[in-house]
């Protein structure tokens, strides 16, 4: 049972396993099927064990994690989850078709050479060939991170829900820097619609440039997104149940500072981009467990590769 698990620093350092994965091996969630705890994962059950409330009216303060040496082991996972939540709430999931885990700092993906027209083939004639081969250019993964300075004395009386919001904001900003790299890869060598002033016809032209693939997503800077929303043709645009803005031709409009004011990116999110990472979000754990919060560091090593060039088009505003 979860009450009998021995918590120690070494659970963070098991090769190929996250802290939660290590806990799940010791305390499988499947054992709680049909009980009041079935909706909790192994980490959340440990919070219950030590009666640590991380949200709600009776939310605890940071110092609650440090009431024992075992409960202190849970604190780095709390910090990481808060930052990861902020990181995951960004647009990465809306622009990436696939995620690849790479063990090295460089990644060689595959490319598809498929330029012959798709037409009928006469009998006794060889079918046209599409060739998949290894890329000749490696994607170099880059490190993105932040050092968070906060003494234990400064945060120990801080409510965990408020502290968690602060950490989530770090995750949001960290993801924004990663998304900027994604935008750079997407717009490189993409087919363009040129314009001097953005009008609805340019969006229609962008939509018309997609042939086999569909325009599912439009990325625009805040000022360009505002200009699009001010267009007369969008006065009755749809907002779905999740609050997403859907343009008249079905694409989602996403406002992001990762795209410059001179570019609007259109893509088919199901085919355009590969997200490559060698790590999940990495947090220094030993210092946090020992209440040495002055140097909280979080980082991720990642990169992007365009999978299908024809699934990305851009509007270039001169």
Q: How confident is the model at residue 196 (pLDDT cuts 50, 70, 90)?
A: very high
- pLDDT of res. 14: 79
Q: DSSP assignment of 240-284, as one string?
A: -TTS-EE-TTSPEEEE-TTS-TTEEEEE-TTTSEEEEES-S-EE-
Percent of the chain with pLDDT over 90: 66
User: pLDDT tens, 300-310?
Assistant: 999 999 999 99
Average of pLDDT values for 137-165?
91
The helix (H) or strand (E) run that includes residue 131 is strand 131-134
Quote the tokens at residue 262.
């001179």
Q: How confident is the model at residue 270 (pLDDT cuts 50, 70, 90)?
A: very high
- pLDDT exceeds 80 at position 68: yes
Do 293 and 150 meet the contact criterion of CB atoms below 8 Å apart? Answer: yes
CA 98-102-108 angle, to 5 degrees, is 80
The helix (H) or strand (E) run that includes residue 253 is strand 252-255
Quote the tokens at residue 159.
């409510």
Average of pLDDT values for 99-120?
89
Percent of the chain with pLDDT over 70: 99
- pLDDT of res. 152: 84
Q: How confident is the model at residue 52 (pLDDT cuts 50, 70, 90)?
A: very high
- pLDDT of res. 181: 95
Nearest to 99 by CA among 113, 85, 88: 88
Phi-psi region of 142 (alpha: psi -120 to 50; beta: other; left: phi over 0): beta
- pLDDT of res. 24: 93
Rounded Cα gap, residues 58 and 60, in angstroms: 6
- pLDDT of res. 241: 79
Alpha-helical (H) ranges within the chain are 19-26, 42-49, 69-72, 75-88, 92-95, 152-155, 160-187, 200-208, 222-229, 286-289
Average of pLDDT values for 127-150?
90
- pLDDT exceeds 90 at position 86: yes
- pLDDT of res. 34: 92
The CB-side HSE value for 277 (13 A sphere, CA atoms) comes to 15
Rounded Cα gap, residues 42 and 1, in angstroms: 10
Angle between helices 160-187 and 75-88 (to 10 degrees): 40
- 252 SS3 class: strand
Q: Where are the domains of the chain?
A: 1-49, 188-272+312-317
Q: How confident is the model at residue 13 (pLDDT cuts 50, 70, 90)?
A: confident
Average of pLDDT values for 129-138?
90
Nearest to 57 by CA among 176, 138, 142, 159: 159
Q: Which of 124-128, 193-197, 267-271 has the lowest average pLDDT?
A: 124-128
Average of pLDDT values for 147-175?
91
- pLDDT of res. 144: 93
Average of pLDDT values for 12-29?
87
Residues 6+ apart with CB under 8 A from 157: 61, 62, 63
Q: How confident is the model at residue 3 (pLDDT cuts 50, 70, 90)?
A: confident
Which of 1.10.520, 2.60.40, 3.30.2320, 3.30.70 is the CATH number of 188-272+312-317?
3.30.2320
User: pLDDT tens, 212-269?
Assistant: 899 999 999 999 999 999 999 888 787 887 888 999 989 999 999 999 999 999 999 9
């Amino acid at each position: 049972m979860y009450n009998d698990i021995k918590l120690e620093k070494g659970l963070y350092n098991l090769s190929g396993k996250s802290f939660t994965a290590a806990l799940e091996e010791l305390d499988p969630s499947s054992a709680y099927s049909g009980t009041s705890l079935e909706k909790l994962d192994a980490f959340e059950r440990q919070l219950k064990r030590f009666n640590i409330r991380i949200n709600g009216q009776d939310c605890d303060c940071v110092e609650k994690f440090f009431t024992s040496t075992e409960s202190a082991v849970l604190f780095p996972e709390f910090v990481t989850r808060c930052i990861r939540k902020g990181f995951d709430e960004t647009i990465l999931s809306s622009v990436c078709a696939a995620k690849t885990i790479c063990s090295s700092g460089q990644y060689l993906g595959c490319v598809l050479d498929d330029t012959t027209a798709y037409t009928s083939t006469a009998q006794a004639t060889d079918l046209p060939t599409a060739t998949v081969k290894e890329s000749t250019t490696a994607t170099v993964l880059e490190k993105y991170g932040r050092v968070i300075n906060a003494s234990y004395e400064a945060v120990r009386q801080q409510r965990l829900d408020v502290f968690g919001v602060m950490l989530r904001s770090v995750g949001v900003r960290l993801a924004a820097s990663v998304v900027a790299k994604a935008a750079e890869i997407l717009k490189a060598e993409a087919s363009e619609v040129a314009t001097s002033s953005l009008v609805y016809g340019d969006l229609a032209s962008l939509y018309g440039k997609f042939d086999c693939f569909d325009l599912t997503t439009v990325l625009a800077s805040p000022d360009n997104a505002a200009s699009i929303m001010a267009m007369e043709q969008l006065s009755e645009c749809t907002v779905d149940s999740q609050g997403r803005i859907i343009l008249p031709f079905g694409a989602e409009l996403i406002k992001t500072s990762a795209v410059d004011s001179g570019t609007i990116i259109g893509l088919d999110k199901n085919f355009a981009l590969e997200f490559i990472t060698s790590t999940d979000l990495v947090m220094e754990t030993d210092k946090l467990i020992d209440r040495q919060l002055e140097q909280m560091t979080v980082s991720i090593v990642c990169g992007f590769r365009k999978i299908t060039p024809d699934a990305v088009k851009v509007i270039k505003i001169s």
